[in-house]
Amino acid sequence: MTRYFRRWALVLLVLPTSYHTQALDVTVTTASGERLSHTVVWATPDDPKVIEHWPTMHYFMDQVNRQFKPHILPIPKGASVSFTNSDTILHHVYSFSPAKTFELKLYKSNEREPVVFNHAGIVNVGCNIHDWMLAYIVVVDTPYFSITDTQGMAQLSLPEGVYTLSIWHERFSRLGEPESQKLTYHGQSQLQVKIKQALAAPLPLFHTDEFDDY
């Protein structure tokens, strides 16, 4: 509990404090109009000077009942992620994604150094022992990012300006290619974004428990 509180507290702390900053509610829908959860949304300013400060941020990705938690984790470039293990057995976390290549064995009694993500891109994380485990770390080059809730809504707190608004979902046919559009933000509160491509079939989290590693 403390861990999640700490994470959200950190996210709140880094929201830009300028008085120009306002909240933009982004609703993401599929081409057929259905609201889409777990979509990562981020706004990259055309003028990088808009970003007032970019503090170091720290995130956690846990292993619970032979699954990554969270399954999708958006982070800003330069952030670090601690891989923790709430299971009683070993996990061997790794990625060969161009944005970050790493591997870590998570022994039950051993804290591992956080992994720093210095390049933007989609990092596909797996476990070498439990081949059904899969997570995505979406590394973005802006502090203005969020992920849609079950209603397909995400809130961005932005200063006014011109941005490239990008969205990414794990059901995209090309996982390395977010969809983008231009956004001129002058304080409006609502934005509807419709995904252009047809999505792959949904693949819910696999039913796993402590006896699924044999």
Site residues, other proteins (CB under 8 A): 88-90, 92, 94, 96, 103, 105, 107-108, 110, 126, 128-129, 131-134, 200-201, 203-204, 206-209, 211-214
- Is 40 or 156 the residue whose CB approaches other proteins more closely? 40
Measured CA to CA in angstroms, residue 61 lies from 34, 82, 115, 134, 164 at distances of 29, 6, 11, 12, 28
Residue number with CB closer to other proteins (9 or 200) = 200
* Smallest gap from residue 146 Cβ to other proteins (A): 25
Closest approach, Cβ 193 to other proteins, in A, equals 23
Cα(36)–Cα(118) distance, rounded to whole angstroms? Answer: 28
Q: How many CA atoms lie within 13 A of 170 on its CB side?
A: 21
Other CB atoms within 10 Å distance of the CB of residue 178: 22
Ramachandran sector of residue 125 (left: φ over 0; alpha: ψ -120 to 50; beta: rest): beta
DSSP 114-128: PEE--S-EEEEEEES
- The DSSP output letter for 205 is P
* Shorter beta-carbon distance to other proteins: residue 125 or 140: 125
The nearest distance, CB 159 to other proteins, in angstroms, is 38
Minimum distance of other proteins from residue 198's CB (angstroms): 14
Nearest to other proteins of 33, 204 (CB atom)? 204
> C-beta of 41: minimal distance to other proteins in Å?
22
Q: What is the DSSP string of 88-108?
A: SS-EEEEEEETTEEEEEEE-T
Structure token pair of residue 142? 């802006």
Residue 131 Cβ vs other proteins, minimum distance, rounded to whole Å: 4
Residue number with CB closer to other proteins (1 or 203): 203
CB-nearer residue toward other proteins: 157 or 208:
208
Q: What is the DSSP letter of 113?
A: P
Tokens 């979406």: give the residue.
138
